[in-house]
A and B are shown apart, each in its own frame.
Chain A
Amino acid sequence: MLGQGILKGLIETARNFFGSYVNKDRLTTVQFPEERLPQIEATRDFPLLVYDGTDWQQGLRCVACLICEKACPPQCIFIEKSTDKKPDATGKPQFYPARFDIDISVCMSCQICVEVCPFDAIKMDVEFELSTTDRFGGLLLDKQQLAKSNEYYNRIHPTEAGAVDAALADERAKAEAKLRQAAEAKAAAAAATPPPPPAEKTVIQ
């Protein structure tokens, strides 16, 4: 009979129409500013710079090695290396970025900078509400805007950050052990040769 399929379709749409007022499960829309879906852990958009401790200038892991700047395909990273050295979080004197800018209007979120960083200093952020009225200045993030604490990093990517922290702790422990070994060897050598040079002690400490 002509029109059977049309009737079936009409019944289906009518059921949808009335059902959506009765059954909330039918409406799959998430009304964004008021409701939000939880982000999955692998979410990423733009890079951030991780710092240890509480002072973002002191604790920045970045040593301005410029690897990420060279690896960046769209070349959105601009780093100005410092001329002096500054002790990092572990007290070791290092170069630091005098300027570190990322133009997020150019960034394509490829994560290559994160892959190449040997210091676990640059990671991916999840912040996405970055709209601004100034499309040039407002989208060019400087060092201060990029710097995020290690706690924040742990919060947005717990698994990844845990692995990074463990690896860093391991490396530091190894470096310390090596240092201690060297010191002990030196001390043993000093004990073997009676007059120890006084300068050595300061180095050990």
Chain B
Amino acid sequence: MPQIIDQIFVLLKHWLMGYIPALLQPVVSAILSVVPVLIAFPLLFAITTVLERKGLGRMQNRYGPNRVGPFGFLQPMADGIKSLTKEDIIPRTADHLVHLLAPVVIVIASFLVYAVLPIGRNMVIVNLNAGVLFFFAVGSMVELSVFMAGWSSRSKYSLLGAMRAIAQMISYEIPLVLASIVVIMAAGSLSTVTIVNLQATYTGIWPHWYVFTPWGLTGFVIFMIAATAESNRCPFDLPEGESEIIAGYYIEYSGFKFALFFLGEYLGMFATSAMAITLFLGGWAAPFSFLTWIPSYVWFFTKLLALIAVFIWIRGTLPRLRMDQLMNFAWKFMLPLSLINIFAAGVWHYMPAGISRWFVVTLIVALACILLSRGLRRNKWFHVRTYRFAS
């Protein structure tokens, strides 16, 4: 019985496919796989916006939105209606076509990456044998759309925001990819389905998640920090920077295009969270062997919601970084640490299993972390500034 509940969506699709003529089967199969994702994740976006606002409010000792519907849970509807009925303003000097395309591109890019994310056991749209590569390749389309938005608006603020966003996203994409390389090394595969299947086995009651190894934990932390920066969320929200450049690259957007940007950004956040789950947290696998009777998709969405909660928690805690701090952190801490982490994963692979490799690999990673953080701190001396060109 648990197996049937676990596979209910897969069985449902097979049952529906039985009634479809053979000629139409590939098309209908694709539609049946894609449409649930197109419904589930925007719905999750709607729920997340209200939960985020309520959670942030509680972190600042406020009630969040509590007027629309029971406990304010119909707020996303009100927001949606508002953004649909708002006037769509396009600056006169803007490049109209690119201005229109930018929000479309960000949403398409954000949706495309869901194709390779396994939501449950046997529940993946396509099992690409280069799934992880596809994810990062399509994920970098977001940068393109951000720059399209910033450039086509013909506004100083948007251009500043776009330039910051590009600098930040390119810098953090490197640690993001390097952090996931350790998993690819361990799994020996680029397919997301294979990576999850390898993690869904148990020793006793304990799962074989990659986060439960020293290099996996380091990789996970680096991946999550880089994912925060990739999705332009606090404390890496310089591209948006409400208090300085108002909304950054989408300052000239209003109405539904603005909502599309918002949607794209949240979908990107969900996608990178889902990728972190797939790579490090065992995907749809249960955390203990005796909990495998709970359906796999429930585990996936539980983990996803937990990671979103962490994102919100961090957003409610940390102030925005400065541009030089952001860059220093990416190039002087994250990049060397992720390279050392790859080395540590290699050491782990070639040492005999046992306590000794745990000790050695933990030492490598911890030492690197401490030394690199000391290196970050060393540059913080106070001195009188001299302005070479201004005086």
Contacts and interface: CB of A to CB of B under 8 A. Distances in A.
Q: A and B, one complex?
A: yes
B39 interface: no
Contacts of B313: 10, 13-14, 17
B59 interface: yes
A16 B55 CA distance: 10
Nearest to A16: B59
A1 interface: yes
Nearest to A9: B317
Contact of B63 (A1, A6, A29): A29
Interface in A25-66: 26-29, 31
Interface residues of B, number: 17
Interface residues of A, number: 19
B314 A10 contact: yes
B189 interface: no
Contact of A27 (B61, B317, B373, B377): B61
Contact of A17 (B59, B314, B373): B59
A2 interface: yes
B373 A16 contact: no
A20 to B, nearest CB: 5
B376 A16 contact: no
A168 B62 CA distance: 49
A106 to B, nearest CB: 30
Contacts of B59: 13, 16-17
Contacts of A10: 313-314, 317
A29 B58 contact: no
Contact of B58 (A1, A2, A16, A28): A16
Given A1-B373, A2-B376, A17-B55, A9 B61 contact: no
A20 B61 contact: yes
Interface centre among A1, A13, A20 (most CB of B within 10 A): A13
Chain A residues touching B, majority SS: helix
B318 A6 contact: yes
A31 B317 contact: no
Contacts of A29: 62-63
Interface string B49-74: 00000010011111100000000000
B61 A26 contact: yes
Contacts of B60: 16
Taking each of B58, B370, B373, which has the highest tally of chain A beta carbons within 10 Å of its own beta carbon?
B58
B321 to A, nearest CB: 12
A31 B67 CA distance: 10
17 contacts: A2-B369, A2-B377, A3-B373, A6-B318, A9-B317, A9-B318, A10-B313, A12-B317, A13-B59, A14-B313, A16-B58, A16-B59, A17-B55, A19-B61, A20-B61, A21-B58, A27-B63
A-B pairs with the 4 shortest C-beta distances?
A2-B373, A13-B59, A9-B317, A13-B317
